[in-house]
Structure 1
Amino acid sequence: MDATAPRWLMKMAGVSWRLLVVVATIALIFYATSRVLLLFVAVFLALVFTAVLRPAVDALSRVLPRAVSTGLAMLGGVLVFVGLLTYVGVSVADRWSKLSEQFGQGIEDIIDFLENGSPVPITVGQIDQWIENGRTWVEEHGGELAEQAVARAGSVVEVLTALALAFFCTIFFLASGRQMWTWFLNQLPASVRGSWSAAGGAGWYAFSGYTRGILIIAVTDGLLAFILLTVLGVPLAAPLAVLVLIGAFIPLIGAPAAMVVAMIVALAANGPVQAAIVGIGIALIGQFEGHVLQPLVMGKQVSLHPVVIALAVAGGTLTAGILGAVIAVPLVAVAWTVYSTLRTPDPSPTDEADVPTGIEAYEAGESHP
């Protein structure tokens, strides 16, 4: 039968069954990951924490034992994060009473506008009726809401468990990551250790580049939000900018949540017009991040084309929601870097001194986790 089949058909058949094997392998990986999702998330977070704290640990370990350097770096990271949240909370608490009064006035301004200035007038009676309908709906669906609250409570426990496991893994990744990687390489046949070492080094360098890119984007978002809120005269500009910075680490929901909080403060302080302007401004910052910063910064840090990054984020979101949006870019970056490293042929003896291998190029930039 092969002798009578056209050559192009045999080539297509060969490519097709190989593609089917690749697709089946990817599907198996996705299925296996979904069964141990908590473990996967914990390890991913541990690698992110390691990439962020590794430079500090390396610097401290020059004068202190590695274990002490690890503890100080992790303690410093926790204190910075908690300090940012505390700063936001204290700043809001100091002005809470005044903001509450201004917020009430802002609500009255909105109601007055809806009654007298809106193209479609809305009376106070209609608003009261809507509130009553909402209260009735909550009473009728109280059981369902309670069940969802219990389910969310279970999710919170899972999140805390993942964070605890991530911190536990981070300690060992920072303190003895090199030894762990060396132990893993020693379990492999000697003939493939060089390839695995080069691929692992290049993959880790790409993952670290992704983490650096996220930090750059978050800080840029926070600065732009601070400038916008300061120019508009919105109180608590610095704490709100910190919220925007933190929200940049949470795709899809982080930025909108920070925008709503900023709009509420602007409404309380300066009225509905200012609130609308703040909402539009922060939404534009989000668009700038998604269409300019993400492709440019991430494209440089992880060596991916902006189109690939956009497609990866979209595909990850459609496949696994927020989690998919978070992990899509680093996974694609690491996979492509590993593939590129493994497919690069060894240099000839005459070019060996001039052409760095994957691991040499990597070692010039950063160490293993």
Structure 2
Amino acid sequence: MEKTFSSKGKQILFFGTLSILAIYFLFQGLFHAKGFLIPLTTALIFALLMMPLARKMEKSFINRTASSLLNTFIILLVSVGFMALVSMQVKTVVDDWPQITETMKPKIENLKGFLLEHTPLDQEDLKQSGEGSSVPFMGKNSNAGQKAASFVNQAISFFGDYLLTFIYIFFILNYRHRFKDFLLLLFPDSKRKEVKKVIEDSAKVTQKYLVGKLILIGLLAVLYSIGLGVSGVNNFILVSLISAILSIIPYIGNMIGMGLAIVFGYLTSGDPTVLIGIIITFTIAQFVESYILQPYVVGDQVDLHPLFVILAVIIGGMIWGIMGMILAIPILAIFNVVFSHIPPLKPFAFLFSKEDDD
């Protein structure tokens, strides 16, 4: 009996260790392959989003190649428009920076006084902290040439991945039937009907989630515009649009949007009533999004437990950064659909879903 328990214990320890190592190397591989996987995964998600429109176009007036090209161009225009909005906001921040600096000087001095009085920090600590937070290209010891070269390399890499994503979108849309047939051919005839259903359900859950999110973004943009406009935030329409779009990153996107509103509202004017208005606006919008818009607009199309949504977003951010946060929920939803159709993995589908715990 003791030998049996000892043998089982060794097996559990062996397979447990093996599983931990496998997960570790999986995440390491995903991290190091992000330059290849992020554009490809992003293209796959966008292709699934545009697939219903592509099908309607192909049934009505154009062939598959033209439809794929047109849908890819639509996604390109939308992304360029979003980047234009962001660049306008960045330019506004640069233009308003002297005013923001002057407005914040007395508040920073008050904060330093509070820290010196109520914390163990001294003048030397605050001085070192201030020296360590220089603006890029403006620090005393910064190497402007190296930083400029690094920025250029990052920009080239970004635009390379950006253009590559649209190439992937076109080919995925244009050759989607070939990819589907390839997946079906990997399985015996008796399993192909089930595999086909898994593929269709995975596509549907992604499409419904993304369409629901787009509607949600539009409604949030209206709510933010009303609240921030009344609060007196500069460029409140642009801030509202960007804040609403950032909500596609669960939980974290709303905080980033609120930070933008504070920069363009409170830091520019220094008026405490503007800050109160911003806080009230985002509090109300968050309540409306969580309890009204999210259930009825996005609905239960993505049946995922909030705990695993948060974990997926955190892990996605650790592996792939911001894009990992954005892609985390659609990817987890697809995995959940696959798990629900494979008997040995159904316990994971139950674990990830938000069914009642009673």
Aligned-residue offset at 1:235: 4.8
2:64 pairs with 41, 63, 66, which one?
A: 66
Name 2:162's counterpart in structure 1: 163
Give 1:212-361 correspondences, 5 Å limit. Answer: 212-249=211-248, 255=254, 258-267=257-266, 271-281=270-280, 284=283, 288=287, 300-318=300-318, 321-343=321-343
Preserved CA contact (<8 Å) 1:88 1:242: no
| 1:29 to 2:1 alignment | no
Equivalent position SS for 1:300: coil
5+ long unaligned stretches in structure 1: 121-129, 346-369
Aligned-residue offset at 1:107: 6.6
Give me the whole-angstrom Cα distance separating, in 1, the residues matched to 2:318 and 2:250: 13
Classify 1:319/1:83 alpha carbon distance in 2 versus 1 (closer, same or farther; 3 Å): closer
Give me the whole-angstrom Cα distance separating, in 1, the residues matched to 2:325 and 2:132: 35
Preserved CA contact (<8 Å) 1:299 1:309: no
Query: Higher Cα Rg: structure 1 or 2?
Result: 1
Give 1:6-85 correspondences, 5 Å limit. Answer: 6=4, 14-64=11-61, 65-83=63-81
With 156-165 and 241-250 compared, the bigger mean Cα shift is at: 241-250
5+ long unaligned stretches in structure 2: 115-126, 346-358
Give me the whole-angstrom Cα distance separating, in 1, the residues matched to 2:147 and 2:250: 23
Classify 1:250/1:307 alpha carbon distance in 2 versus 1 (closer, same or farther; 3 Å): closer
Aligned-residue offset at 1:306: 2.0
Give me the whole-angstrom Cα distance separating, in 2, the residues matched to 1:78 and 1:20: 45
| 1:150 to 2:144 alignment | no
Classify 1:237/1:41 alpha carbon distance in 2 versus 1 (closer, same or farther; 3 Å): same
Preserved CA contact (<8 Å) 1:42 1:165: yes
**Equivalences, count:** 326
Give me the whole-angstrom Cα distance separating, in 2, the residues matched to 1:159 and 1:90: 19
**Structure number with higher relative contact order (C-alpha < 8 Å, ≥ 6 residues apart):** 1
Preserved CA contact (<8 Å) 1:210 1:298: yes
Classify 1:92/1:111 alpha carbon distance in 2 versus 1 (closer, same or farther; 3 Å): closer
Q: What CA deviation, in whole Å up to 9, does each residue of 1:56-80 have, x standing for no partner?
A: 2222222122222222223233334
With 53-62 and 270-279 compared, the bigger mean Cα shift is at: 270-279
Aligned-residue offset at 1:303: 0.9
Q: Aligned Cα RMSD in Å?
A: 4.5
Aligned-residue offset at 1:166: 1.3
Equivalent position SS for 2:265: helix
Q: What CA deviation, in whole Å up to 9, does each residue of 1:102-154 have, x standing for no partner?
A: x97777666678899x997xxxxxxxxx9xx76996443212x6534433432
Aligned-residue offset at 1:18: 4.4
Classify 1:150/1:209 alpha carbon distance in 2 versus 1 (closer, same or farther; 3 Å): farther
